[in-house]
């Protein structure tokens, strides 16, 4: 086979027959290749090839060292779904590049539903790039970010929610996020959305049947055939539940942000260090130590939590301290929860009360620190408004009460035990679409209750359907897919 060679980034690449040119200049029929393992040195590295030329490329570069067809014979048979041991050669001079294992997954039983070859070689950057270069010279082009998964979606192996879950699984920051992504990947969300689509389609079919038989096409609904109760029970209720799960899903995926606030010297930085289990923030006996917000992430009960230690808030004329205080106030506005720290051994003062006023309307957990300074068994006297917030008593110094505080943080975030819960949505795209579908379905229910013309009802149901179909990727426009898959890493 003769191949025209072009040069790209210093590597000679065989020209590919171009068929359907995609929005990024790629063609859907190209054979694509990329390094599938993370950059850096590792025991093994994997190069993945997908497309019609994958097997030919393998035959050009691989020589088996076991079995009937030994080295220097490119006419060997690739055994499907087996690992073959052999050497990877440069066909230009037959030079041995590496000892490798080669897997052949013929279409349609592969990740992309195309022919897929995976070459497991030694995991050094130079080896991997050398082999990738040879693969590109022998008929593949470099894959774009997410292109393997995009092909799995285009070829119908997974829906769009499952494709998105692949990226979420790779990027998971905690076990909770990982479990959520794994459930979505195995089709949890897809099944829910498909169920809703099926109900809406049934209803739409009934409405359209009635419309067909009506004379003017705008008659009211005949009693009892399509009820708003059924729509609420089968569609609106479940959709509302899915929409409400976003807050939890987002927190699981992105982590929870939590600011530690209070007046100077109450022990915020000491508590921060205790929670993150290392001495990251500076602690001194001098009020006004922390200026810049200090951030660190930890996992509590499978949930990633970003803690922010902030400057102590008080009336100050020091311009540097004032900037720090300004940053504390900004942090309080953007977090999911504020830990408001006061001291147990000293009476509360105006600085405490001012901060309390600022945080008490928001999601706040009151923490009373330095309980080691109290006589044993003593509990500090707190004003009613504070006591009603069910404070947590701790000593950042001794660690007393920290486990209780961690539990209360998870409770306050509404995340308790959520690592195990049912399918939830964590993607803004899903939230926007499900809320739009919900709005249309509620409008449809009103149309039924108010006996509005049936063509209006049909329109509402169709609009709701389009939104739900968008979630699973039915009829998704190429630019929407580009936006989704460009977030993926190359090789996935
Ligand atoms: N006895 C006792 N001392 C504590 C405790 N927590 C903090 N301290 C002490 O209180 C002082 C201030 O602690 P920091 O953690 O720096 O307080 P902060 O709230 O971050 O202070 P600023 O950064 O100035 O706002 C230090 O001397 C700490 O050792 C505690 O639980 N018990
Ligand atoms: Mg501090």
Residue closest by Cα to atom 32 of ligand 1: 370
Domain limit, last residue, from 158, 189, 218: 158
Residue range 144-184, pLDDT digits in tens: 999 999 999 999 999 999 999 999 999 998 888 998 999 99
**Domain identity same for 137 and 235:** no
Counting atoms of ligand 1 from 1, which one is nearest the CA of 288? 24
User: Is pLDDT of 391 > 50?
Assistant: yes
**Domain identity same for 16 and 119:** yes
CATH number for the domain harbouring residue 379: 3.40.50.300
Instruction: Quote the pTM value.
Output: 0.77
Q: Which of 55-69, 240-254, 405-419 has the highest mean pLDDT?
A: 240-254
Residue 169 lies in a domain: no
Confidence at residue 371, expressed as pLDDT on a 0 to 100 scale: 95
| Distance linking the first and last C-alpha atoms of the chain | 30
| Helix residue ranges per DSSP H, 335-487 | 350-359, 384-387, 402-412, 428-449, 454-472, 478-485
Q: Is the CB of 481 under 6 A from ligand 1?
A: no
Longest alpha-carbon distance in the chain:
89
Counting atoms of ligand 1 from 1, which one is nearest the CA of 341? 19
**Domain identity same for 467 and 338:** no
Ligand nearest to the CA of 268: 1
CA–centroid distance, residue 184 to ligand 2 (Å): 41
Residues 50 and 115 sit within 8 Å (Cβ to Cβ)? yes
CATH number for the domain harbouring residue 467: 1.20.120.430
Residue 40 lies in a domain: yes
pLDDT level of residue 416 (50, 70, 90 thresholds) = low
Residues 309 and 281 sit within 8 Å (Cβ to Cβ)? yes
Domain limit, last residue, from 129, 158, 187: 158
**Domain identity same for 64 and 15:** yes
- Tokens 């130590």 locate to 289
Residue range 11-57, pLDDT digits in tens: 343 444 333 334 444 566 899 999 999 888 888 999 999 999 999 99
| Cα–Cα distance measured from residue 470 to residue 468, given in angstroms and rounded to the nearest whole number | 5
Considering only CA atoms, which of 366, 392, 389 is closest in space to residue 379?
Answer: 392
| Six token digits for residue 183 | 């459930």
**Domain identity same for 61 and 11:** yes
- The three-class DSSP label of residue 397 is coil
CA–centroid distance, residue 216 to ligand 1 (Å): 78
CA–centroid distance, residue 368 to ligand 1 (Å): 12
**How big is the CA angle at 461 (ends 456 and 462), to the nearest 5 degrees?**
95
Confidence at residue 479, expressed as pLDDT on a 0 to 100 scale: 87
**Domain identity same for 218 and 335:** no
Least confident stretch, 97-106, 396-405, 452-461, 478-487? 478-487
Phi, psi of 273 (to 5 degrees): -60, -40
**Domain identity same for 114 and 145:** yes
Q: Is the CB of 478 under 6 A from ligand 1?
A: no
C-alpha distance from residue 441 to each of 133, 195, 463 (Å): 53, 15, 9
Who contacts 414 (Cβ-Cβ below 8 Å, separation ≥6)? 247, 248
Around 84, how many Cα atoms within 13 Å sit in the side-chain half-sphere? 28
Ligand nearest to the CA of 325: 1
- Tokens 């009336």 locate to 315
Who contacts 227 (Cβ-Cβ below 8 Å, separation ≥6)? 448
Count of structural domains, the chain: 3
- Tokens 């149309």 locate to 447
Chain mean position to CA 393 = 35
**Domain identity same for 61 and 181:** no
pLDDT level of residue 275 (50, 70, 90 thresholds) = very high
Residue closest by Cα to atom 21 of ligand 1: 265
CA–centroid distance, residue 180 to ligand 1 (Å): 38
Q: Phi/psi zone of residue 294: left (φ > 0), alpha (ψ -120 to 50 degrees), beta?
A: beta
Q: Is the CB of 269 under 6 A from ligand 1?
A: yes
- Percent of residues, the chain, with pLDDT higher than 90: 67
**Domain identity same for 436 and 407:** no
- Tokens 């609009």 locate to 463
| Six token digits for residue 359 | 């945080």
| Cα–Cα distance measured from residue 210 to residue 221, given in angstroms and rounded to the nearest whole number | 8
Residues 331 and 293 sit within 8 Å (Cβ to Cβ)? yes
Residues 85 and 120 sit within 8 Å (Cβ to Cβ)? no
**Domain identity same for 410 and 428:** no
pLDDT level of residue 216 (50, 70, 90 thresholds) = low
Range(s) of the domain holding residue 285: 251-419
**Domain identity same for 392 and 272:** yes
Residue 103 lies in a domain: yes
Ligand nearest to the CA of 284: 1
Q: Is the CB of 260 under 6 A from ligand 1?
A: no
**Domain identity same for 65 and 49:** yes
Q: Is the CB of 25 under 6 A from ligand 1?
A: no
Q: Is the CB of 475 under 6 A from ligand 1?
A: no
Domain limit, last residue, from 108, 130, 158: 158
| Cα–Cα distance measured from residue 180 to residue 184, given in angstroms and rounded to the nearest whole number | 6
Q: Is the CB of 396 under 6 A from ligand 1?
A: yes
CATH number for the domain harbouring residue 114: 3.30.1360.120
Residue range 46-94, pLDDT digits in tens: 999 999 999 999 999 999 987 645 545 556 778 899 999 999 999 999 9
Residue 240 lies in a domain: yes
Mean pLDDT of 435-454: 93
Confidence at residue 9, expressed as pLDDT on a 0 to 100 scale: 34
Residue 377 lies in a domain: yes
Residues 264 and 288 sit within 8 Å (Cβ to Cβ)? yes
Residue 60 lies in a domain: yes
Q: Is the CB of 261 under 6 A from ligand 1?
A: no
Q: Is the CB of 401 under 6 A from ligand 1?
A: no
The preferred substitution site among 265, 271, 341, 393 for testing ligand 1, maximizing ligand atoms within 8 Å of CB, is 265
CA–centroid distance, residue 272 to ligand 2 (Å): 9
| Cα–Cα distance measured from residue 61 to residue 135, given in angstroms and rounded to the nearest whole number | 8
- The three-class DSSP label of residue 377 is coil
């Amino acid at each position: 086979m003769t191949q025209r060679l072009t040069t790209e980034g210093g590597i000679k690449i065989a020209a590919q027959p171009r068929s359907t040119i995609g929005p990024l200049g790629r063609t859907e029929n190209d054979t694509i290749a990329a390094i599938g393992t993370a950059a850096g040195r590792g025991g093994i590295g994997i190069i993945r090839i997908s497309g019609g030329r994958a097997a030919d490329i393998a035959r050009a570069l691989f020589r088996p060292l076991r079995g009937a067809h030994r080295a220097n014979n490119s006419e060997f048979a690739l055994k499907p779904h087996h690992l073959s041991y052999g050497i990877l050669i440069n066909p230009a001079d037959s030079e041995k590049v590496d000892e490798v294992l080669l897997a052949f997954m013929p279409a349609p039983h592969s990740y992309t539903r195309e022919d897929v070859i995976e070459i497991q070689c030694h995991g050094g950057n130079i080896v991997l790039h050398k082999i990738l270069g040879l693969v590109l010279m022998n008929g593949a082009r470099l894959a774009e970010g997410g292109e393997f998964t995009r092909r799995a979606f285009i070829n119908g192996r997974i829906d769009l929610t499952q494709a998105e879950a692949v990226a979420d699984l790779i990027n998971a920051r905690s076990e909770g996020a990982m479990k959520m992504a794994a459930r979505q990947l195995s089709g949890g969300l897809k099944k829910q959305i498909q169920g809703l689509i099926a109900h809406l389609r049934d209803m739409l079919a009934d409405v359209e049947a009635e419309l067909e038989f009506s004379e003017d096409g705008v008659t009211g609904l005949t009693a009892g055939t399509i009820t708003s109760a059924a729509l609420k029970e089968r569609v609106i209720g479940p959709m509302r539940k899915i929409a409400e799960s976003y807050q939890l899903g987002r927190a699981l995926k992105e982590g929870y942000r939590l600011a530690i606030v209070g007046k100077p010297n109450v022990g915020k930085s000491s508590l921060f260090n205790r929670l993150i289990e290392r001495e990251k923030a500076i602690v001194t006996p001098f009020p006004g130590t922390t200026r810049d917000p200090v951030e660190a992430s930890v996992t509590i009960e499978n949930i990633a939590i970003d803690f922010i230690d902030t400057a102590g808030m008080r009336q100050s004329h020091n311009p540097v301290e004032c900037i720090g205080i300004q940053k504390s106030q900004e942090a309080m506005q953007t977090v999911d929860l504020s830990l408001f720290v006061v001291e147990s051994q000293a009476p509360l003062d105006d600085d405490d009360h001012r901060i309390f006023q600022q945080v008490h309307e928001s999601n706040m957990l009151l923490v009373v620190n330095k309980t080691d300074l109290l006589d044993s068994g003593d509990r500090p006297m707190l004003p009613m408004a504070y006591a009603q917030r069910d404070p947590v008593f701790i000593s950042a110094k001794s660690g007393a009460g920290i486990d209780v505080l961690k539990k209360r943080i998870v409770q306050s975030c509404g995340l308790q035990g959520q690592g195990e819960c049912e399918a939830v949505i964590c993607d803004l795209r899903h939230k926007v679409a499900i809320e739009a579908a919900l709005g249309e379905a509620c409008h449809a229910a009103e149309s039924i209750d108010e006996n509005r013309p049936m063509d209006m009802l049909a329109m509402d149901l169709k609009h709701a359907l389009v939104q739900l179909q968008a979630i699973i990727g039915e009829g998704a426009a190429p630019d929407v897919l580009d936006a989704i898959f460009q977030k993926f890493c190359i090789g996935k």
